[in-house]
Copies of this chain bind each other. A is one copy, B any other.
């Protein structure tokens, strides 16, 4: 490179200086300084005994976060969507019937992945933000007799939490495996993998665990593992082949792919931050901040999109008041105090704000700070005038 080109490069690519953001969106969340420190530790090789231990530590720590003793935990080298695809390509063989509870964007994504993988998909449609009663869940599964059932535990696009006990019980009665999307719940709200009866769950690192995005922690029940071991055709995906990944991560440690070392360092530290707080205390902190948040929102004359008993405590969907352009409110928050929140999309486009109160930001002071700035931005856009 000539000297001139070097000058050009300095002009075109200024030093990395990310603006400070308060990440009050649905994820990524703020990251604990300990996690940033772990990220920048010197890497070792992906077959180094030290790294193998880091991977195994993550697996062990994930058991507490997921609430599983008997299940196997595993980390996929891709984001939450890679975890979803891993669940589909490994447990939904082409031609398999999968029954999906379809009440938001991520059940649509699950549908799309299942279809691309050659599955027969039947859907129980509900409006975005609604949930299913135990009776509805049972009736659907008994009628459809699927081989696999899929539902979204905490639906990021709507803010609704779907209890899984009745779904899992009915699925097991029908001999079906249950895939549960826990992308927004893990680490922030109770997942209770074993108690609920989930068979395959996947999540991400950048929401309830407050780690940067990049990995997908999964859990699999003994039933799921047994099914996987008995599967005779290889999954269509080699990269997401859970038999091979499980062997690399927990059994032989034989090379499968070069794991993202730094991201595993970060995940281990994020899980230790969770463990140091105590997972139940962490849930409780999020619950408390959620209540304060809702109280503040209602005091401003605003309303929540999801009925009280079905809300995700870490991710709030607030209805956009009539006459307000939600995109302008978001831009004002980002450009002013540097607060990121998200809008709705699909059927909820323009209708809700999606506001996460997760991880380091889930404190009473931060909630008050947010409510104050949110109120100012709404007012500036004409709310309450």
Binding site for B on A (CB under 8 A): 1-2, 5-6, 9, 12-13, 16-21, 23, 25, 27-28, 31, 36-48, 50, 54, 57, 60-61, 77-82, 84-85, 109, 112-113, 116-117, 204, 206, 212-214, 234-240, 255, 257-263, 265-266, 268-269, 272, 275-281, 334, 340, 342, 345
Residues of B within 8 A of A275 (CB): 1, 6, 9, 13
Would B1 and A18 count as touching, CB distance under 8 A? Answer: no
Once the chains bind, are B44 and A116 in contact (CB under 8 Å)? no
Is A78 within 8 A of B239, CB to CB?
Answer: yes
How close is A357's CB to chain B, nearest CB, in angstroms? 15
Pairwise interchain contact A213-B21, C-beta atoms closer than 8 A: no
Known: A44-B340, A48-B21. A239 touches B38 (CB 8 A): no
* A235 vs B85: C-alpha distance when bound (angstroms): 13
In the A-B complex, the 8 residue pairs with the smallest Cβ-Cβ separation, listed nearest first, are: A1-B278, A214-B260, A40-B40, A212-B262, A36-B40, A81-B257, A85-B239, A213-B258
- Contact check: which of B42, B46, B116, B214 meets A237 at CB < 8 Å? B116
Residue numbers in B under 8 Å from A78 (CB-CB):
77-78, 82, 239
If A42-B20, A45-B23, A276-B9 touch, whether A81 touches B239 (CB-CB below 8 Å) is yes
Across the interface, do A213 and B46 meet the contact criterion of CB distance under 8 Å? yes
Query: Which chain B residues lie closer than 8 Å to A240 at the CB level?
Result: 239
> Shortest beta-carbon distance, A29 to chain B, in Å?
9
In angstroms, Cα B65 to Cα A1, docked, is 12
8 Å CB contact of A45 from B25, B80, B113, B237:
B25
**Are B260 and A263 in contact, with the CB atoms below 8 A?**
yes
In whole Å, how far is A309's beta carbon from the nearest beta carbon of chain B? 28
**14 sample A-B contacts, Cβ–Cβ < 8 Å, listed by A number:** A9-B272, A17-B41, A18-B41, A19-B50, A28-B261, A36-B40, A45-B340, A48-B334, A79-B257, A81-B238, A206-B258, A212-B261, A213-B261, A255-B345
Whether the Cβ atoms of B39 and A213 lie closer than 8 Å is no
**Contact, CB under 8 Å: A16 / B268:** yes
Pairwise interchain contact B39-A18, C-beta atoms closer than 8 A:
no
Residue of B with least CB distance to A263: B214
CA distance A28 to B50 in the complex (A): 14
Report A26 CB to chain B, min CB distance, Å.
9
**Quick one: closest B residue to A64, CB to CB?**
B1
A212 to B82 CA separation, bound complex (whole angstroms): 20
Q: How far is the CA of A45 from the CA of B269 in the complex (A)?
A: 21
Shortest Cβ distance from A167 into chain B, in angstroms?
A: 23
Chain B residues, Cβ within 8 Å of A112: 238
**Contact of A258 (CB < 8 Å), options: B1, B9, B28, B279:** B28
Instruction: Tell me the bound Cα distance from A265 to B6 in angstroms.
Output: 20
Say whether A85 contacts B27, CB under 8 Å.
no
Please measure, in the bound complex, the distance between the C-alpha atom of A18 and the C-alpha atom of B262, giving whole angstroms: 11
Q: A212 to nearest B CB, angstroms?
A: 4
Contact call B281/A1, Cβ cutoff below 8 A: yes
Kindly list chain B residues whose C-beta atoms are within 8 Å of the C-beta of A28: 43, 45-46, 258, 261
User: Bound complex: CA of A276 vs CA of B13, how far in Å?
Assistant: 11
B31 touches A43 (CB 8 A): yes
Chain B residues positioned under 8 Å from A117 (CB to CB) = 236
Identify 5 new A-B residue pairs, CB closer than 8 A, beyond the known A9-B275, A31-B42: A16-B41, A27-B258, A39-B39, A80-B257, A82-B257
- Smallest CB separation, A356 vs chain B (Å): 10
Max chain B C-beta neighbours (<10 A), residue from A20, A239, A275: A239
Do A13 and B272 touch (CB < 8 A)?
A: yes
Instruction: Give Cα A116–Cα B81 distance, bound, in whole angstroms.
Output: 20
Chain B residues positioned under 8 Å from A2 (CB to CB) = 278
